[in-house]
Amino acid sequence: MDRNAFLDDLQQKISAVIANTPAADIERNVKALVAQGLARFELVTREEFEVQRELVARLRAQAEALEARLAALETSPRSTDPAA
């Protein structure tokens, strides 16, 4: 038996032993518990998060532009002409 075959056989035997131990059951139970816990949170995907971040950035830029425009209008001399 060559070295690679021996290592492959050993790996298969170790995997079989681990699969039949309580550790495998514990791992499955922990994964299920974590999945249930995460399902309770209202999580969003990265794509949804990025879309919202871009929207907020655009709205912030618009708000800043409107604030600047308002400040300019407030400091400009007011016309005394009622037709204006």
- How confident is the model over 21-77, as pLDDT tens digits? 787 788 888 888 888 887 888 888 899 999 999 999 999 999 999 999 999 999 988
- pLDDT attached to residue 81: 53
Helix axes 22-40, 3-19, angle to 10 degrees: 60
* Rounded-to-integer distance, Cα 18 and Cα 10, Å: 12
74 is written with which tokens?
């407030």
CA angle 64, 68, 71 (to 5 degrees): 135
- How confident is the model over 8-18, as pLDDT tens digits? 888 888 888 77
- pLDDT attached to residue 46: 93
Per-residue pLDDT for 79 more than 70?
no
